[in-house]
Amino acid sequence: MAEYSQPSFKLSIEEEYQFIDPDSRELRGFATAQGLTLLDAHGSGKEGEQVAPPAGNPSGASATVAGTPICQDVKQARRELLRIRREVRELAASHGLKMMAAGAHPFSYWEREQEESPRYRALIEDTQFIARRLLAFGMYVHVGIDDSNLAVDVMNAMRYLLPHILCLANSSPFWQGSDTGLASYRSVLLDALPRTGIPNAFRSHDDYRSYVDTLLRTNSIPDPEAVWWDIRPHSQQQDRSRPRSQGGQNAQSWNEATDRPALEIRVCDALPDIDDVLAVAALIQATVAWMVDLRHRNMSFRLYDRTLIAENKWRAVRYGLKGKLLDFGIEQEVAIGDLLHELLERVEPVLDRLNCREEVAHIHTIMQRGASSEQQRHVWRQSGEDGKAVVDFLVSQTEQSL
């Protein structure tokens, strides 16, 4: 078994935000790591509009680069995320808009004007109608592992726990004014795209690299960023002002995409409550650390077939915290609450080392209170199925701690 040094487990968090018209509550723009997109009254928009950064942004980059720098622990991540959210709120206000974080807008209809954006023009050319309906917002957690082969080992094992994470981090129950009956409709939208969902297990980093190299050589993808799995080997970049790849002349080389080995967990919907964001990020970080500790003790986590894990993901998408997942070890359904309590017990020994005990404790609050999708449905029912009331609730939650 390979020997690995102890990783740093440094983390970074990216969020995608929605900009909301305060009168109609319609979606009027959004901010991602690629930049700001503002929409006109018909829902068409131009991607990547450059907006001067708010005063005090130390990176010199626009606040629309909605990702923290690499953080030593989740306490630093909280400070950075608060700063970013405040700057994005100011940016939205400068356009007469409100800021909101959620996996999908409850009722807005939207079509991209594909001529405006080379990036989305290429995506639409590749995926056709699927991309035209894609308007989903996520939260992405990067955890530094510092060893490429170890990152792949942990990815293989952690695939099993992605449905557990999604049960906590779902916030897209509505789509175009209708209750979908799901906890995470965003997951359904994304899984219709190629190279998404639960990945296969890989024997090594070279095995993973061979897969990506094949896609690159055959013009299947412009760069490694176009592999959009729920979890993937990735890199942590200290300079968040550096733009992400958009293909073509700006495409990343393979070396640039792997120079700081890390895992990126992409399964989570964007979450309005910053305490929920940090709790989920801390649990992800702690789970990675626990799995690395298993490897250091010459132990391993049993690997399950992707199709079995996908069954659990569907249950998470459909029911969230209200459902049951399959425990493949005993081949039985188990309430998600029981499985999450078991996971919390497993990661408990690493919490003090990571300085994240307080944040992980908030997982109990989410389990007792319900995930964001449950909260939104409660507002929906209490308001007589008023989507505007749901938007008001999400805006308030997003801005409440700023």
pLDDT per position as a tens digit, 251-297: 333 334 446 789 999 999 999 999 999 999 999 999 999 999 999 89
* C-alpha atoms less than 13 angstroms from C-alpha of 179 in its C-beta half-sphere: 13
Dmax (CA) of the chain: 60
Q: What is the overall mean pLDDT for the chain?
A: 84
Residue 245, pLDDT > 70, answer no
Pairing between β-strand 261-269 and β-strand 138-144 as defined by DSSP bridges: antiparallel
* CATH 3.40.720.10 corresponds to the domain 108-399: no
CA 157, 160, 161, 165 torsion: positive or negative?
A: positive
**pLDDT at 19 > cutoff 60:** yes
How confident is the model at residue 37, as a pLDDT?
A: 65
- Indicate if the pLDDT at residue 247 is higher than 50: no
Q: What's the pLDDT at 225?
A: 87
Question: What pLDDT is recorded for position 192?
Answer: 86
pLDDT at 256: 40
Q: For residue 65, give Cα distances in angstroms to 108, 137, 209, 244, 374.
A: 24, 14, 28, 10, 29
The band of 66, judged by pLDDT with boundaries at 50, 70 and 90, is confident
Percent of all residues in the chain with a pLDDT value above 70, rounded to a whole number = 78
Residue 41 binned pLDDT confidence (cut-offs 50, 70, 90): very low
Torsion angle in degrees (nearest 10) through CA of 48, 50, 52, 56? 30
Mean local confidence (pLDDT), 60-86: 80
In angstroms, rounded to a whole number, what is the distance separating the alpha carbons of residues 109 and 121? 19
- When pLDDT is averaged across residues 9-18 and rounded to a whole number, the result is 94
Sequence-ordered list of residues with C-beta below 8 angstroms from that of 168, at least 6 positions apart, any chain? 276, 279, 280, 283, 321, 340, 363, 366, 367, 371
Is residue 96 within 8 Å of residue 22, measured between CB atoms?
Answer: yes
Query: Band of the pLDDT at 38, cuts 50, 70, 90?
Result: low
- pLDDT recorded at residue 401: 78
**Which tens digits make up the pLDDT trace of 130-169?**
444 568 899 999 999 989 999 999 999 999 999 999 999 9
What per-residue confidence (pLDDT) applies to 2? 55
- 126/345: higher pLDDT: 345
Nearest to 354 by CA among 283, 256, 302, 253: 283
pLDDT at residue 31 tops 80: no
pLDDT of residue 371: 99
Share of the chain above pLDDT 90, in %: 67
Q: How many residues does the chain have?
A: 402
- Rg over CA atoms, the chain: 20
Q: What are phi and psi of 391, to 5 degrees?
A: -60, -45
d(CA 237, CA 245) in angstroms, rounded, equals: 13
CB 281 within 8 A of CB 11: yes
Q: Is the pLDDT of residue 53 over 50?
A: no
The reported pLDDT for the residue numbered 59 is 25
**pLDDT per residue over 294-346, tens digit each?**
998 988 888 999 999 999 999 999 999 999 999 999 999 999 999 999 999 99
pLDDT at 391 > cutoff 90:
yes
Instruction: Tell me how crowded residue 287 is: count the other CB atoms within 10 A of its CB.
Output: 24
